[in-house]
Amino acid sequence: MGYLYLAMAITAEVIATSALKASEEFTRLIPSIVVILGYGAAFYLLSLVLKTIPVGVAYAIWAGMGIVLIAIVAAIMFKQVPDLPAIIGMVLIVSGVIVINVFSKTASH
C-alpha cells in the first residue's frame, strides 16, 4: 500500500503545484482551493507512506518524480519547455531514484 499512497501523494502534489501557477498569487478562488486541498492531500498521503517506506526513500521518490512530472505539465500547460541541461538533470534525478529502489537495502525496509 505504501507505494500506492506514494503515487497518490505525488499526483496530489503535481495537481497542487500546477494549480499554484494558475492561482495567480492566490487571487483566483478555484485554483487557490485546489492548491490548498492538493497540498493537504499530498502531505497526508505522504504521512501514510512513512508507515511502510523509510522517509529518505519516500522523499527521494516523491521529490524526484514530482520534479519530472511538474516539468512535463509545465511544458504542456504553460509552454515552459525545459532546455537540454534541465532535461539531463531530470534524467539524473530519475536515475538516482531508480538506483535507490533497485540497489539500496534501505528501500526494502
Residues 15-62 pLDDT 10s: 999 999 899 999 999 999 999 999 999 999 999 999 999 898 898 899
Domain limits for position 76 = 2-108
Buried b (16+ CB within 10 A) or exposed e, 47-75: ebbeeebbeebbebbbebbbbbbbbebbe
Whether the per-residue pLDDT at 109 is higher than 60: the answer is: no
What pLDDT, in 10s, does the model give residues 60-102? 899 889 999 999 999 999 999 999 999 999 999 889 888 887 8
Instruction: Write down the residue that cell numbers 537540454 correspond to.
Output: 84
Q: What is the spatial distance between Cα 15 and Cα 40, in angstroms, rounded to a whole number?
A: 12
For residue 107, what pLDDT is reported?
Answer: 61
Other Cβ atoms less than 10 A from the Cβ of 90: the count is 16
d(C-alpha 100, C-alpha 62), whole Å:
13
Number of structural domains the chain divides into: 1
Residue 96, Cβ neighbours under 10 Å: how many? Answer: 13
For residue 97, the model assigns a pLDDT of 84
